[in-house]
Amino acid sequence: MTLAETLLQKLADWRPAGEGRHAVGLSLPDHGWTVRLTADRVDTLSCALTEVEAERATPLPDDDKLLEAHARRAAGRVTGLLEPVRLIEIDRVRHIALVRSDSPPEKDGSVHFYEITFSGRNRVKVERFKAAKQSPAKRESIRFVLTHEVLAKLVDDLVRD
C-alpha cells in the first residue's frame, strides 16, 4: 500500500470528540514517517486544518543540494491546494527550504497564501496565512479545508523522494 493509501485509511478512523481544535499523530512505520495534523473540524470526508506536519522516523543527514532538489520536485507535484506553490528560498545555514503560493489571491486588503517549510529532508510543515498588504504586514494563521483524499496526496507529494 502507498503512503497516501495508508494515510487515507487512518484518516477514515479519525473521529475527534467535541468542539474545538484537535490534534492527532498518525504513525506510518511502513513508510518511515509520522504525520501530525491539527484541525478545527473533522468529518468523514474532510478536515479544516491549521497545520499539517510530517516527520521522518530515521533522519537523513543535511545536504542542501538534495534539499533544494527535493523541495523543487515536491512543489511541482503539489496540485491539491488552492494555488500552485513554488520554492522561494533555501536557508543553507539552518537547512530550511521555504515554499509558498506562487500567485496568492487578495481578499479585503489581505493576501492568503500557503507556506510549506522543509527542515532538511526530515520534516515538512504546511500552514496557510493571511497577511495585510500594507506595512507593517502582520500575518496570522488561518485554516484551510482539504478532503481526506487531497490531504493524503499532499503529504505523499511532499515526502516522496
Parent domain of 41: 3-159
pLDDT in tens, 35-93: 999 999 999 999 999 999 999 999 999 999 999 999 999 999 999 999 999 999 999 99
pLDDT given at position 109: 85
CA–CA distance, 87 with 72 (Å, rounded to integer)? 6
pLDDT in tens, 95-148: 999 999 999 988 888 999 999 999 999 999 999 999 988 777 789 999 999 999
pLDDT given at position 15: 86
CA torsion through residues 10, 16, 22, 23, sign: negative
CA torsion through residues 47, 73, 90, 62, sign: positive
Side chain identity at residue 49, one-letter code: L
Q: How many domains does the chain fold into?
A: 1
Q: What is the 3-state secondary structure (H, E, C) of 72-139?
A: HHHHHHCCCCCCCEEEEEEECCCCEEEEEECCCCEECCEEEEEEEEEECCCEEEEEEEEEECCCCCCE
